[in-house]
Structure 1
Amino acid sequence: MCQLLGMNCATPTDITFSFRGFSQRAGITSDHCDGFGIAFFEDKACRLFVDNQSAVESPIAELIRNYPIKSRNVIAHIRKATQGKINLENSHPFSRELWGRQWIFAHNGDLHDFDPALSGRFTPVGNTDSERAFCYLLDQLVNKFGYTEPSLDQVFDLLTDVSPRIAEHGTFNFCLSNGQALFSYAITKLHWLVREYPFKPAQLIDIDVEVDFSQVTTADDRVAVITTEPLTQNEAWTAFAPGEMILFQYGKAIRHQMTHVERLIREAKDPSLKRVTKADQY
């Protein structure tokens, strides 16, 4: 299973602390070694770094661990491949332009028999189920709203309608951002927390590093962190419920919505129907 890391902030913030722990899972504390990527938004555009090397070995990842790029919205991904070759075009996050903004998407999971008709406006570069799902989501946004940019609430409502339909094909956990906010959806594992004033120390799980955030923040700072597995051992992380969508803006969760996934109901009634793949092994 791939792992996700997202950050949404009230003020531009660097992700070096969280990424230092997260990247250990790419070959030291876990085996998500099939590439990594990270995107930092700056208004409508973003800095996107991807590599088909693991986040433990990649010189690009070493730069990210040590160079504090500040952003209000960040999405990172470490890959454990289930579909598609281990190469650059299959490395998350994926990027596309829509309504004059870059959109960034990263997914963990494994979608079976998912081959939707695409309009051609958004075309996969690689051969992953994840990139197909991203192109399909963007197609649905254009089909619904045309070329007039909708509000974040309208995007959220469409995502809560379309995402459970994709999730009928398998595990579908994702982070999506257009630089204004961050949308997160979970079918299996995803956790989140908000750090805000008064800040406290945090201790990483995957490496012996601690930061006292009260010494490096102000009262105006507020940071929401979203990740597959909790990154710290002394903070209270909240697990997403299966089928939950959350919209994060200005460092806080501003909307929650539960979605209805028929497959999960069938599997709860008859566990023999549940298909466990490499994508479900963390």
Structure 2
Amino acid sequence: MCQLLGLNCATPTDATFSFTGFCQRGGATDQHADGWGIAFFEGKGLRLFVDHHSAAASPMADFLRHYPLKSTNIIAHVRKATVGQVSLENAHPFARELWGRHWVFAHNGDLKDYQPRLHSHFQPVGSTDSERAFCWIMQELSKSHAGVPSVAELTLTLRELVPQIRQFGSFNFLLSNGEALWAHCSTKLYYLVRQHPFHQATLMDQDWTVDFAQVNQPGDRAAVIVTQPLTKDEQWIAFEPNELKVFVDGLPQ
């Protein structure tokens, strides 16, 4: 299975600490060595980096660990291939445009015999069940709303759509349009909120401790969503099975 990492923040924040630990799971401390990717929203823009090589050994991943891009919404993924070959077009996250905004999606799980009916506008480039599911979600969102919906309206629509995919297998995912971040747990997902008063944290997969009180201001806040907890000294909250949460400004809504 793959692993997911998402950050939703009140102020632009870099993912260097979390991404460094997360990358080790892409072939060093775990077996997710079949590609990786990370997406950073910047205003209306999007920086998307994907690679079909191991994250733990990727020069691009190493560059990003030392080049702290800041964003209020970040989605990362390390892949263990189950459906679709190991190739660049099958590396998550995937991105599409809808209502003049970038949308980004990453999936952990396995959908059996999932072949949704897709219209011409949203078609997969690669061969994964994940990208097919993303295309179908985008298609159905565009059919459900005549104009740009609010975060609350989008959440209600997603609550109706997700069970139609979940019946085909495990469907843990992260989805963002740069305004909010949606996280769905089918089998396993955790989150925490880092906010004032900040404390120190130590990565599980690498020997690195950060005192967040030294690098944050009182108004900073970040929700971190992961498949497996990244740190050994923070209180991670488990999602309930089949739970969909939306995060805005670093808080679950």
Deviations 1:76-114 (A, max 9, x none): 000000000100000000000000100000000000111
* Separation in structure 2 between the aligned mates of residue 24 and residue 58 of structure 1, nearest angstrom: 11
Q: Hey, which bits of structure 1, 4+ residues long, moved more than 2 A?
A: none
1:45 deviation in Å? 2.0
* Separation in structure 2 between the aligned mates of residue 45 and residue 116 of structure 1, nearest angstrom: 29
What does residue 225 of structure 2 align with? 226
* Separation in structure 2 between the aligned mates of residue 213 and residue 17 of structure 1, nearest angstrom: 10
3-state SS of paired residue (1:159): helix
Q: Percent identity?
A: 56
Q: Which amino acid aligns with 2:54?
A: S
3-state SS of paired residue (1:211): strand
What does residue 31 of structure 2 align with? 31
* Separation in structure 2 between the aligned mates of residue 45 and residue 120 of structure 1, nearest angstrom: 25
What does residue 207 of structure 2 align with? 208
* Separation in structure 1 between the aligned mates of residue 5 and residue 56 of structure 2, nearest angstrom: 16
* Separation in structure 1 between the aligned mates of residue 114 and residue 172 of structure 2, nearest angstrom: 15
* Separation in structure 1 between the aligned mates of residue 84 and residue 113 of structure 2, nearest angstrom: 14
The TM-score with structure 1 as length reference comes to: 0.89
- For the pair shown, the structure with the greater C-alpha radius of gyration is 1
Residue 75 of structure 2 is aligned to residue 75 of structure 1:
yes
What does residue 107 of structure 2 align with? 107
Cα RMSD of the aligned pairs, angstroms, is 0.6
Q: Which amino acid aligns with 1:138?
A: M
What does residue 93 of structure 2 align with? 93
* Separation in structure 1 between the aligned mates of residue 14 and residue 177 of structure 2, nearest angstrom: 18
1:118-197 residue pairs with structure 2 within 5 A? Answer: 118-146=118-146, 148-197=147-196
Q: Which amino acid aligns with 1:177?
A: S
Deviations 1:179-213 (A, max 9, x none): 00100001101100000000000000011100000
1:64 deviation in Å? 1.3
* Separation in structure 2 between the aligned mates of residue 14 and residue 88 of structure 1, nearest angstrom: 25
What does residue 264 of structure 1 align with? none
Deviations 1:261-281 (A, max 9, x none): xxxxxxxxxxxxxxxxxxxxx
The TM-score with structure 2 as length reference comes to: 0.99
Checking the alignment, whether the CA contact within 8 Å between 1:44 and 1:178 is kept in structure 2 is: no
Deviations 1:154-184 (A, max 9, x none): 1101111111110100000000000001000
Matched positions, count? 253
Checking the alignment, whether the CA contact within 8 Å between 1:43 and 1:180 is kept in structure 2 is: no
* Separation in structure 1 between the aligned mates of residue 127 and residue 120 of structure 2, nearest angstrom: 15
* Separation in structure 2 between the aligned mates of residue 113 and residue 66 of structure 1, nearest angstrom: 41
Checking the alignment, whether the CA contact within 8 Å between 1:46 and 1:102 is kept in structure 2 is: yes
3-state SS of paired residue (1:220): coil
* Separation in structure 2 between the aligned mates of residue 54 and residue 64 of structure 1, nearest angstrom: 14
Unmatched 5+ residue regions in structure 2?
A: none
1:119 deviation in Å? 1.2
* Separation in structure 2 between the aligned mates of residue 63 and residue 183 of structure 1, nearest angstrom: 27
Q: Which amino acid aligns with 1:182?
A: L
Q: Which amino acid aligns with 1:5?
A: L
3-state SS of paired residue (1:189): coil
3-state SS of paired residue (2:235): coil
